[in-house]
Structures are given as structure tokens and as C-alpha cells.
Chains A and B, each alone.
Chain A
Amino acid sequence: MSTDLLNTLVTGAIWRAEQLEEQGVGSVPLAWAEVSSLEEKLATALPASQPEGRIARRGAVRAALRAGNFSRAQALTERFLAEKEATQTLRAALRQLLEEDASALAGRFHHATKTVNEARSLARWLQEGGAFGLAA
């Protein structure tokens, strides 16, 4: 698939996701997941040294977060951070996206603001080991 076609598709997908979000339609996460998937394809096609490549990488992570898929956002971030061509600005921007997501979560839960990162690592512990960590 050409980058031109991908760009057209991702523009349409973003518009659709935003419209669905505005209308409060339940399939919004799916729409953002589609955006993230298209942005990831663009990121694969365009190196991180190019401005369009950097935009696609940020877009893939941001859309994954808006889709509510934190695991994917985290995995994409780790992958993009490991790229040799990734600039310091891109690295900082990617980290900031995850930090903003943590801040938004902390903002809702005023009595647990300091525990977002711990909550995330505990959730991973629970996901891997099940109740009481017994399945690990």
C-alpha cells in the first residue's frame, strides 16, 4: 500500500473517530484502533528521521491510548524508542504521551494520584499471575 493511500485512509479514519467520539457512539475505541493500525503502517513505511515518520509514530501511540489499549501504546512506544533514527524530540514526545495518559488517570482519582505507575505494574502482575499471583 502506498504512503499516499495510507495518508488518505488515516485522515478519513481520524475524522470518523472524532465524529463518533463527538456523538458518543460506543464503537469509538474500534475507530481509534483502526487509526492506530494505519499510523503504524505509515510508521513502518516512513523512517523516524523524516517528519512524516515521526508524526505517524506519535499518531500510532496516541490513537492506541484513545482506543483504551494501553498495552499496545506501551509496546509501540518501546518499539519506536528502540529505533536508531528516533530523535530526542520524538523520544520525549512519545514518553510524554504515556505520561499524559497517567496524569489524566491520576486526575480522576485524587486519593490515589501517586499510585498510577504502581497500579500499572500491579495490573501486569495480576495479568501474568492471576489472583494472588498463584498462576505465575
Chain B
Amino acid sequence: METIAFYSYKGGVGRSLLLANTARFLAALGKGVVALDFDFEAPGLHYKLGHTARRESRLEGGAVPYLVATARDATSPPPLEEHMAEVPVPPDSGGWLRLMPAGQAPDRAYWALLKQLGEQVRFDDPSGRGLMPLLDLHGRIREELKPDYLLIDTRTGVTELGGLATTILADTVVCMFVANQESLEGTLMVAEALKAAPRLKGQRPIRVVPVLTRTTSEPPTENPFADGLKRLLALAQQGDKKKPKLLELPHDAAYGALGWIVADEPTDDALSPLDKAHLGLFRELFPLPAHAPRKR
């Protein structure tokens, strides 16, 4: 199982959408995928994967109720299936996609549970009681569900859970940022911290994949922003023989949250520039056999 965390120092970069599309793309290629929403303070991955707060499509359980139940009971954590939902994938793909949402956000009951979690679980508890449920959840997904990929939507900015999901759980961190200095400098700072963070036994060094999003033109080549980009790419290359290239996703104001679905054969005309950029990014991230991803 490869764990890929999607991170952004600033919000509004299209992180959850890219994760959802990556999950669908991989499942359509026959892979087993688990998508995990760790953006507890602003969860929305369930919307991107077709589950809204509407009664007919609402989910039970999720990561927050799972962790609260784990903290409350002295026995082993609850069954995973109570906290996950199947997301439909093309039936002939051979792949599967399961979502563990953060919870039933935006219901008030969800925020009450999140408050409880904050009161009951301290990730920095030196006994390890706060971290063990997270490490156990990661191990359970790997051993019980045996997916090829675990994709984690992390919290924006500098937060404990965002830090843990990226530094300790992830093999690869997709760092998304926009073309301004504050976004880039924050991303650089976090990317440096990721490279310096401790790892568990047997884990390889973190792979950092920078992705510039919402671009409207070519990124500048000579100014502080360009210098920062060079530093970020150099960091991404650390420990990697392959020279990383800057992955870019164009701005698309009309792009719908559920607009890109892998199904049917698309014509090139049916793909928007952002669709094409997503596909290019997937091919860069996942060197899989040649395949024509499809669009409904």
C-alpha cells in the first residue's frame, strides 16, 4: 500500500478535488483505493465522492466518530466497515474505492464529536495513547482492506493532524500551492520540515511532489517566486535520481466539483484543460501501463 497525502499550506487550491479524481482514476485502472478525509475542521471529501448531507446519500460513521469511539472504549477499535462507504467505480474496471469521510459534516452532531475528540485525544501524549489509534488505523487499512493506495486529504496550514498525516503516515506528499509568494514560502517551509521529520522503522524517505495550481499563465522565471520554485524542486529531488518537473494545474472557474468522472471513452474535445492537466499529473505520479482514462 502506498500512502499519498494531499497537502496545501493555503486553502482553495483544489486539493480535495484532485484527491477525489486521483482516487477515481486509480480505481478505474483496476486499483484498490481508500480515500480518507483528515481535514476535520472543514471536511468535504464526501461531497467530491458523491455523498452529501442529504438523507438519501448520507454516510454513517467516519474518521472522527471512529477515533472518538477508540478513545472512549478500553477495548479494541470498532470495525472499519462501520465507518466507510463504497464509492461506485466502472463495473468492468476491477478496481474499488472506499471512502472514510471525516464524519457527517456539516451536521451539528459532527461538530460535537469533533469537540469530544479534541478533549479526549492528545496526539502528543507521551504515553503514545494519542498516536496509537492513528498508527493502528493506518495498519488496519493496510492489513484488513489491502488497498493499493491510501489517499489522505489533510488539513490546510500547520496543524498537528496535518503534520502527522504527512510526516508519519505518508510515503508521498503532494504539496499544492498557488502562484503567490505567501503560498510558495509556506509550502517551502513545510516541505523542508517533511524532509527533516522522523520516520517509522522500514519507511522510506518522504517523496514530495510540488503541484502549482490555478495557473493562468506560465510561472515567472526570474524573481523571488522563481527562486522559491527552484528551491522547492531541489527539495523534491532530494533522495530521488529523477529530476522532478513542476506539475501544474490550470485555473478553471467553471470546473464542477463532480465534473470529472472516469467512465466511457472520451474524445479529446470532451476534456477541459484542467481534465487534461489532471490526467498528465496522474501519469507523472503513477507510472502505470498505458491506459486511456475515460470521461462520462
Q: Which of A71, A109, A121 lies in contact with B132, CB distance below 8 A? A: A109
CB-CB under 8 A from B131, the residues of chain A are: 119, 122-123, 126
Any A CB within 8 A of the CB of B226: no
How many inter-chain contacts with C-beta < 8 Å in the A-B complex? Answer: 111
Any B CB within 8 A of the CB of A84: no
CA distance A68 to B201 in the complex (A): 27
Interface 1/0 per residue, A108-135 and B, CB below 8 Å: 1111101111111111111100111110
B-side interface residues, number (CB < 8 Å): 42
Q: How large is the interface on A (under 10, 10 to 19, 20 to 34, 35 or more residues)?
A: 20 to 34
CB of B200 within 8 A of CB of A118, answer yes
CA distance A127 to B140 in the complex (A): 26
CA distance A131 to B161 in the complex (A): 8
CB of A112 within 8 A of CB of B124, answer no
CB of B164 within 8 A of CB of A126, answer yes
User: Are A120 and B127 also in contact (CB < 8 A) when A109-B136, A112-B139 are?
Assistant: yes
User: Are A122 and B168 also in contact (CB < 8 A) when A105-B129, A131-B163, A132-B194 are?
Assistant: yes
Docked complex: B139-157 residues within 8 A CB-CB of A: 139-140, 142-144
B positions within 8 Å CB-CB of A: 74-77, 123-133, 135-140, 142-144, 158-160, 162-164, 166-168, 189-190, 193-194, 196-198, 200-201
Min CB distance B67 to A, Å, is 12
CB of B132 within 8 A of CB of A131, answer no
Any B CB within 8 A of the CB of A37: no
CA distance A132 to B160 in the complex (A): 7
CB of A108 within 8 A of CB of B197, answer no
User: Are A123 and B126 also in contact (CB < 8 A) when A131-B163, A133-B196 are?
Assistant: yes
CB of B132 within 8 A of CB of A132, answer no
CB-CB under 8 A from A68, the residues of chain B are: 127, 129
CB-CB under 8 A from B138, the residues of chain A are: 111-112
CB of B124 within 8 A of CB of A134, answer no
Given pairs A111-B138, A131-B158, A132-B167, 16 additional interface contacts (CB within 8 A) = A68-B129, A108-B75, A111-B136, A111-B137, A111-B140, A112-B136, A117-B128, A118-B200, A118-B201, A121-B198, A122-B200, A123-B124, A126-B123, A126-B163, A132-B163, A133-B167
CB-CB under 8 A from A110, the residues of chain B are: 76, 136
User: Are A108 and B126 also in contact (CB < 8 A) when A130-B160, A133-B193 are?
Assistant: no
CA distance A105 to B76 in the complex (A): 10
CB of A105 within 8 A of CB of B124, answer no
CB of A70 within 8 A of CB of B126, answer yes
